[in-house]
Amino acid sequence: MQDKKFKIGYTTGVFDMFHIGHLNILKRAKEQCEYLIVGISTDELVMQYKSKRPIIPFKERMEIIKSVRYVDKVVPQTSMDKFSAWQILHFDAIFHGSDWKGSQMYNEIEIKLKEVGVAMIFLPYTTGTSSTLLSEKLAKS
C-alpha cells in the first residue's frame, strides 16, 4: 500500500440523491488520506443555507454514505463552521469540490485552518451532474 499524503481527511456535503460527482469526491479524497471522515449536512442546516429540504432524509443520507467503501466515518454536519469541526475531529486535510474555490466563505476557512496546519484541497468538480440538476429533471418529468 502506498503512503497517503494525509493521515485524517475530512469532507462535507448534503449528498442528496447520491450521484457520480459525490462518488468522485469521496474516492479522490480517500486516495490522499489514510482515514476519511465525511460530515453529512443535517436537514436543518440545508434549510438554513439552501432554503430547501433535501429529497432524501438525513438518516438515509447518513446510511448511504456509511456504505461507501472510501468512507471510514460519518458524522452529522450541524454547522458550516469547519474550524469547530477541526477542533473535534483533528483532521489534517479538508477536501471540497473546486466549485467552492475562491468563494469568500472558503477563502476565510482556508486561512483559519492553515494557521493550525490543515491543508485545504480542492478536487475537480464533476460537471454535468448535481442533485439540483437531478431535482430539476425530476420536476420536468
Q: CA–CA separation, 43 vs 59, rounded Å?
A: 9
pLDDT tens by residue, the chain, 141 residues:
568 999 999 999 999 989 999 999 999 999 999 999 999 999 999 999 888 899 999 999 999 999 999 999 999 999 999 999 999 999 999 999 888 787 788 889 999 999 999 999 999 887 666 555 655 655 676
Q: What is the pTM of this model?
A: 0.87
- The domain covering 6-140 belongs, at the CATH homologous superfamily level, to HUPs (3.40.50.620)
Q: CA–CA separation, 77 vs 55, rounded Å?
A: 17
Q: Where are the domains of the chain?
A: 6-140
Nearest Cα neighbor of 67 from 23, 32, 98 is 23
